[in-house]
Each structure stands twice: as structure tokens, then as C-alpha cells.
Structure 1
Amino acid sequence: MNPATAWNFAAGPARLPDAVLERARDGLFVRGADGASALERPFTGDAFRATLHSARERLAQLLELPAGYRVLFLAGGAMQQFALVPMNLLGGAQRAAYADSGYWAQRAIAEARRYCEVVAAPGFAGAAPLAAPPAGPWDLPADCAYCHITPNETVDGLAYPALPDTGEVPLVADATSCLLTAPLDLARFGLLYASAQKNLGVAGLCVLVVRADLLERAAPAVPAALSYRRQVEADSCLNTPPTLAIHLAGLVFDWIAESGGLAAMGAANRRKAATLYAAIDGSGGFYRAPVAAAHRSPVNVRFQLADEALVEPFLAAAASRGLHNLRGHRQVGGLRASLYNAMPQAGADALAGFMADFARRRG
């Protein structure tokens, strides 16, 4: 299969933009006059610090970062933040609110219960068709240190149509699968975090944006390298940062800016998602989407076959056509196509065309 006509629909690690792969090949994996590649230079040196500063500045531009917010580039993934958020944000509080919107929200809730009492924020009913928690004002206890949401559930294929109003309780989000996929009103959040391997680069990096006034809440026992405040003070370099992932993230941020920014990403992602949801809804019931139309994720398209016996033949036939990693998460089964920023419209078109052909042949 020609790599130019093969498409990776994995939920993560996901496809990188072609231009980023080319720039990485030409710029990161070659030795300079000092005998070192970009990846071999010390993280304390001027060259890497310039790369770090450039990546942070470009990200701040893309996000239209409000005054009073700080950006961190941390080693690890989002699951690590399931513990670090309560460790860093509880302060003297004993409770935090969490909204259950699906698989990853439930994982965050389970980890948070090790550190505090979890107050249930509005959640989803769990019945089909699936829907995100309601928008509008949420009546939360004033003693909650924060309210945590997962605005895009990669497993469930569900997304919040709008953000809730949590009043004086800071809103915290696991934005791993949706950060940089569309414009975002960052001032609505006290903190958000995202693993890099979906829209920001490669696995091993977590980007975190936090309102500065929240940095004083960390428990005294938080290890230095895991303290948001200490990492801000050390410019994300209290310990050796994931230098390769930061280099690549900077290249991705540049590509997004050169491609029109977050407005362009959002428009492209809506078009791609509309292509696949039209293929699902127009199949006469051969394919089914379990999520209510207004709550469907624009980047993780989850669907099922009316005849589950056709799942394995579908996956095999898709792979033979260069359409890979379409199996749904093991917890929910079915099928899933992830359409992150780096997936071009041609990939969505190829999958939609295959789906129509498969339905004609096997329906």
C-alpha cells in the first residue's frame, strides 16, 4: 500500500502533519557544527531554551492566552494529571466536583477519590443516545476546590456542545483530544491539560495551562518535579523535560499557525466529521452512531454496525484499502475513526467512500 494513500485513524498516538515529519527529518535528526543534533544539546543551554520559548510563545498566540495564565510543558501524560490536579489544586479544601461524561472522566474520578471527596457535578445519563452533561449554570458546593470536566471523550465519541458555568468554582478540563482543534475561550478555565499525542505532537509530553492564582494551592508534600508552582518557577525545566516532544510540539504549533490557526482547524474538523456522520446517518441503519447528534465528537467519530458479525470483515476490508486503526475502544466495542488536526479531508473522504461501498456489498 502506498503510504500516500494509507490513513491512520488511531485515537492516539495519532497522525502527525506531513510537513512536521519533513521538518523534523531535516532539522532534528542531523548534526550541527558542534557535533550534536537538536535532540542531543543540553536542556539548560541557550539553543533548547530558545526552542522552549518559541513553542510557548506560539502556543500562547494560538490560544490567545489571557494575562495571568502560565504554560507548562511537562513529562508524562494526562493520566498523571489525574493525580497531580488534586495534589496541586485542593489547597485546604477536602472536596472537588467532577462531571461524569464517559470513560476518561470516570478514570479521572477514580484517581481523584484517592485524594479528596468527589462531589458529583451534572453528568450524562448513560443511556443511548449518549449526551454530554447539560450546559448552563451548575449549582456546585462553594467549598469545592475546582470542577473537573472532560469536554471530549475519545472512547465514547461524545463532546460538550458548550461549556458549563461553574461560578466561583474554577473549571478544570482534560482537553487531551480537543485542545487546538477549534477556538477556545481560555478565560473560562482555571486549568486545562492535554497529552500531546493527538493534536500537539508525540507521546511523552503534557501541556498544561493554569491561572497563576491557583499555583499557591499545592500540598506541601507534592514532590518538586510534580509541583505546578515549582515547574513554573523553573520554566518547565526543574527536571529534564521531554526535549524531543517539545521540539515536535513547536513544529506542530507552527504548522497550525501557518494553516490558518484554530479557526481553520475547527472548520476543517467540522467538515471531516460531517463527511463521516453523513455516511453513517445516510446508510439506512447499516451503520449507527450511539451519540445524540448535537453531542457527537468532531474528532472521535464512534459508530457501530447493525450486524456486529460484520465488524471483523469491515476491519479487514478497510485495512486492505489502506484504512487503519478503526477498531473501537475495548470498553465499548464497535468502530471509531479519529479525525485530529493532521488528518486531511482526503482521509475522511476515503473512509466515507469505503463505508458506502462496504454497505452496498454486505448490506
Structure 2
Amino acid sequence: MRAYNFNAGPAAIPLPVLERAQKELVNFNNTGMSVMELSHRSKDYEEVHNRANSLLRELLGIPDNYEVLFLQGGASLQFTMIPMNFLKSGQTGHFITTGSWSEKALKEAKTFGETRILASSKEDNYTHIPTNYSLNDVENGAYLHITSNNTIFGTQWKEYPQSPIPLIADMSSDILCTEIDVEKFDLIYAGAQKNLGPSGVTVVIVKKEFLETAKEDVPTILKYSTHSKNNSLYNTPPTFAIYMLSLVLEWVKEQGGVKQIQKINEEKAGYIYSAIDESNGFYKGHAEKNSRSLMNITFTLQNEELTKKFLQEAKERQFIGLAGHRSVGGCRASTYNAVPKEACEALAKFMTEFKNQNS
């Protein structure tokens, strides 16, 4: 029996993807080699690389005037690359901070230039996505940065800002979970290890027009243009991670695409949020209802002793990864695309049983 994997990242990968990778592991495409052993300049690997690119474009409806890049270093490197390339002297990087990861992006930007927090929900312990901000005075801004989903606090943007300056989004934890209009953004980035595959590759989707505004005095390997001009093959890419990404994207397509994935995700999250809402206060959700995440469901119990008991009994039933982030405690169920519906149903049932036994 496979565990019910609710880890926040690295996270669940669809079982059919794992089984196909297992089947092809030692002899990919009749090459007599693993995909990990192929030259990244070979025709066999090139087909994998380009297939991942074309599938992502198809699934997200990415227009031709956007580049799709496969980079390394995770979202954390993007925190640095973005201001290094786009935060120019005399301009300001604007941020809406909604959790720890947007704080880290802001911290890195400060080392390169002027920054401004346009809005934040920090004073409310990041229980919601801010709405009390104005975009009327950001004309000289380099960009507006947001984090679309907040893994630690369990909040998610439902409507994105209509920004008059370039809009950049860290979508590491919710890319492909719902339909989005890519054209609202000038740059989207996402570490793979939640909805796209294993850790090791970072997807960047960047508008060509925005790319042309980048600074020139940037180290070669850290220029987005270096990678766009070389089809993300300037240096050796994480070939196996990109191969796994292509398999995950094929799986998403087989499920009916992002529209169908969104419907399933809403059902999955609904099971667990209902268990919280119908518990008469036994469980308390961290996020306000209008900001609730489909990907990371955060909640607390009435005391630490009860929380430890809940987590221990959950583990005994093969529910893995339910402890909240060390910075906030409590519990967290990460219901990424690859987490099956039956796992969420089973967790909701266990939560109700545990409440009835311990009320």
C-alpha cells in the first residue's frame, strides 16, 4: 500500500508517472541507456526537452510572445535573478507580502535596489490575501511581485492584480492547479517539486518584451537572455528532472487538462475544509475563507497535546506529512495535483472520527 502523501514539497508524483519512469529507467527509447545517461545535446534528449516545453505551452495556453525556460536553483535563485536582471537604478520593486516566501523574495531584492511593500497581511499572521492596496502610484516601478499561493499559511490569490507595471508571480506551489491567464503576467516562475515533478528544475515563463528590458551588466549564467537564446541548453540542464516534468505534463493532459484538474482540486479541498468547518471548533482553519488555498490546507487543534496525538494516529494510518511548518506549528495537508481524491476523502473521514473520539 502506498502512503497517503500530504508532504508540502518535495511532494506526491502521479503513480502512473512513477511507473512509466521505472519502466524506462535503464533503457529509454531503445537507446540502451537511462535518460540520465543521455547527452543533453543528443536527439533523444532534445525530443524530451522540447516535448516538455510544448506541453507546458499547450496546458497553460502560453502565447508565442513568451519564452519558456528550464533553469536550476529553485525559486530561491529566482528571488535573486529577478532583481539582478530587472530592478534598475531609479526604479522600485513593489511587493505584496503574503507569507515567508514573499518575504524572502523581498529580502533578496533589497540587496539590488529600492523596494516597497505595497500591501501585507503580516499583522494578521498572514491569514488572508490583502485587498487594501492601490496601484495608482507605482508608475516608476520596475515590477510588482506576488506569491500566488502560500504553502506555510495556506492562502491563495483568487484574483490577480491588474498591474500597470510588469507583474511577476512565484507560482511554485500552485502552478497547473487552476486555469490562469498567462498574459496578465510578465514573468511566472515555479520550482517543480510540488505540481510539476521532482525537485531539480525551475520553470520560468517570461514575456519576450519584458525580457528585452533586462540589464546588461549581469553575469552570463544569471541572465535570462542567455537561457532563452540557447533553449535552456547553455549549460547541462537537469535532464532527468525535465524528463519527469514532461511525463507529469502528459499525465495532466490525460486527466483532461488544467480545467479538469481544477475541478478535481476543488473537490479534494472541499472534503477537508468541510471536516474543519463542521467540527464545531475542534479544528480551526488558519486562512480566512475567501483566501483559502486549494493546495495547502492549514489548521490547528485545541492544544499541543491533542495536535501531537492527531499527528501520531494519522501517521499510524499512513497519512504522511501532516505536521505544519516548523515556523507556525499546527497541521497542514498539501493536496497537490498528484494527491488522489481518495486520499483527501480518507483524511476527512479520519479527521471526523478523531474529533468524535476526542471531543
Q: Tell me, yes or no, if the aligned pair for 2:94 and 2:115 is still in contact at 8 Å.
A: yes
Preserved CA contact (<8 Å) 2:74 2:202: yes
Give the alignment's Cα RMSD to 1 decimal. 1.6
Deviation at 1:93, TM superposition (A): 4.5
TM-score normalised according to structure 2 size: 0.96
Aligned to 2:325: 329
Give the Å deviation of 1:119.
Answer: 1.3
Residue in 2 aligned with 1:145?
142
Query: 5 Å matches for 1:28-177?
Result: 28-30=25-27, 34-124=31-121, 126-127=123-124, 130-134=127-131, 138-167=135-164, 169-177=165-173
Deviant stretches of 4+, over 6 Å: none
Tell me which residue corresponds to 1:245. Answer: 241
Residue 277 in structure 1 maps to residue 269 in structure 2:
no
Q: What's 1:235 paired with?
A: 231
How many correspondences in the alignment? 359
In structure 2, C-alpha distance between the alignment counterparts of 1:156 and 1:31, rounded to whole Å: 41
SS at match of 2:58: helix
What is the CA–CA distance in structure 1 between the aligned matches of 2:332 and 2:218, rounded to whole Å?
Answer: 38
Q: Sequence identity of aligned pairs in percent? A: 38
Q: Distance in 1 between matches of 2:102 and 2:84?
A: 17
Contact 1:20-1:255 within 8 A present in 2 as well:
yes
Structure 2 distance, partners of 1:252, 1:221, is: 37
CA distance in 2, matches of 1:166, 1:203: 31
Structure 1 unaligned regions, length at least 5 = none
Contact 2:4 2:343 in 1 (8 A): yes
- Per the alignment, do residues 235 and 135 of structure 1 end up closer, same or farther by CA in structure 2, a change over 3 Å counting? farther
Aligned counterpart in structure 2 of residue 257 of structure 1, from 250, 253, 267: 253
Aligned to 1:360: 356
CA drift of 1:217 comes to: 3.1
Asked if 2 retains the 8 angstrom alpha-carbon contact of 1:137 and 1:166, the reply is: no
How far apart in 2 are the matches of 1:40 and 1:246?
Answer: 13
Counterparts of 1:275 and 1:18, CA distance in 2: 22
Provide, for residues 135-186 of structure 1, a one-character-per-residue CA deviation record: whole Å limited to 9, x for no partner: 886234211110000010000101112101111x000000000100011100
Q: Which amino acid aligns with 2:33?
A: A
2:285 corresponding residue in structure 1 = 289
Output one character per residue of 1:6-50: Cα deviation in whole Å (capped at 9) or x when no partner: 201011000000110011111233366544222211001111111
Distance in 1 between residues matched to 2:93 and 2:63, nearest whole Å = 25
Q: SS where residue 213 of structure 1 aligns?
A: helix
2:334 maps to amino acid: S
Query: How far is the alpha carbon of 1:233 from its aligned partner?
Result: 0.2
| C-alpha contact (below 8 Å) 2:119/2:132 kept by paired residues | no
Structure 2 gap ranges (5+): none
1:295-347 Cα shifts (integer Å, max 9, x gaps): 01011000000222211111110000010110000111100000000011100
SS in 2 for 1:138: coil
How high is the TM-score relative to the length of structure 1? 0.95
Q: Which residue of 2 aligns with 1:207?
A: 203
Match of 1:21 in 2: 18
Larger deviation: 123-132 or 249-258? 123-132
CA contact (8 A) 1:135 1:162 kept: no
Determine the C-alpha separation between the residues in 1 that align with 2:168 and 2:287. Answer: 24
CA contact (8 A) 2:169 2:189 kept: yes
